[in-house]
Amino acid sequence: MILLDNISLKPFNTFHIDVSARYFCEFNSTEDVKQVLSEKKFTDTPILVLGGGSNLLFTKNYDGLVLKNTLKGISLDKEDADYYYVKAGSGEVWNDFVMYCLSHNYAGVENMSLIPGSVGAGPLQNIGAYGVELKDVFYELEALHIKEGTLKKFSNAECKFGYRESVFKQELKGQFIITSVTFRMSKRPLLKTSYGAIEKELDAMGVKERNIKAISQAVINIRTGKLPDPAKIGNAGSFFKNPEISGETFQKLKQRYPGMVAYPLDNGRVKLAAGWIIEMCGWKGKTIGDAGVHRDQALVLVNYGKASGREIYDLSREILDSVNQKFGLTLEREVNVY
């Protein structure tokens, strides 16, 4: 384990923003990270744990300690009549974990194929795609308390999962490092193809037998068809969350904008497609310098080359303002801004 000074974070964030970290250290064991954290000089230093760096935007140099997580390993912990309990190191690449599950016929994560990032970042923001969220397959996780150096287990309920939310983004923010996650994977797959685009893609693929591998492939096709590959164009997936509004507000908006894309929720509220709203404000495909709004998905902001984090942040600010002016809605950023 080597502690480095003033390291560029460009290779470690999918927006490819060129900022530096005051201190940088990669860890591949809990003991390693405990040792670094016990060093006196880090007692009051801000700490940022990096997984895949796929859900953050750096707007300035990070004046603290960046810990790059490379905790690896996937294993079957136990099984019962209905489920396999599969434990994965938090530094595993999320999609490698999905592919492992497919090859072992463990069902439940196929709809979340190709989401960028690490296993550990999954519960942090309750990642989700095409009708499934991480909380649907989550069993428990283990995390290291940064100040106390002790390991604690968190059940599904204790993580307080919400839409792109968990206790680790709220009241426990910055207090724990997730070290492993255990998933409860079905022995009898419950295929979720209700998200319109999946059915369409399965038909287009000419799939006769619907199974988890076919769904994964359909999701991969949809994603690669419209989401920019972070290895080629800097981005962090959806930049904003889809806003939730009351049924009453929705009815008023619907009168003015009959084409508004919306999903009714169980509690009478309505979730709107922020991508559609941003497109309606005229942002889709626009660029300011090297910062831009993706041409196929307006919810995704991109770095076409040398944009700074500040430029991307300023673009997001302009989008927020125009959405507010046109629709009277306040969008929230989904990416973590540093």
What residues line the site for ligand EPU (CB under 6 A)?
A: 129-130, 237-238, 241-242, 261, 273, 275-276, 279, 284, 297-299, 334
Six token digits for residue 159:
């993580």
- Find tokens 């300035």 and name the residue: 60
CA–CA dist 213, 228 (Å, integer): 23
Asked if 69 and 118 touch (Cβ cutoff 8 Å), the reply is: yes
Asked if 59 and 42 touch (Cβ cutoff 8 Å), the reply is: no
Q: In angstroms, what is the minimal distance from the CB of 299 to ligand EPU?
A: 4
Active site residue 103: no
* Among 183, 119, 182, 179, residue whose Cα is nearest residue 150: 179
- DSSP string covering 92-123, please? SBHHHHHHHHHHTT-BS-GGGTT--SBTTHHH
Q: In angstroms, what is the minimal distance from the CB of 310 to ligand EPU?
A: 21
Q: Which of 92, 110, 164, 308 is an active site residue?
A: 164
Q: In angstroms, what is the minimal distance from the CB of 249 to ligand EPU?
A: 18
**What Å distances lie between residue 22 and 39, 46, 62, CA to CA?**
15, 10, 6
Q: Which of 26, 92, 133, 334 is an active site residue?
A: 334
- The smaller minimum CB distance to ligand EPU, of residues 275 and 309, is found at 275
- The smaller minimum CB distance to ligand EPU, of residues 184 and 284, is found at 284
Asked if 130 and 195 touch (Cβ cutoff 8 Å), the reply is: yes
- The smaller minimum CB distance to ligand EPU, of residues 87 and 284, is found at 284
- The smaller minimum CB distance to ligand EPU, of residues 206 and 259, is found at 259
CA–CA dist 39, 104 (Å, integer): 41
Q: In angstroms, what is the minimal distance from the CB of 115 to ligand EPU?
A: 7
β-bridge mates for residue 144, sequence order: 151, 177
Active site residue 31: no
CA–CA dist 323, 225 (Å, integer): 26
- The smaller minimum CB distance to ligand EPU, of residues 37 and 272, is found at 272
Active site residue 184: no
What is the gyration radius of the CA atoms in the chain, in angstroms? 20
Q: In angstroms, what is the minimal distance from the CB of 214 to ligand EPU?
A: 17
Q: Which of 90, 118, 216, 238 is an active site residue?
A: 238
Residues acting as catalytic residues: 164, 238, 334
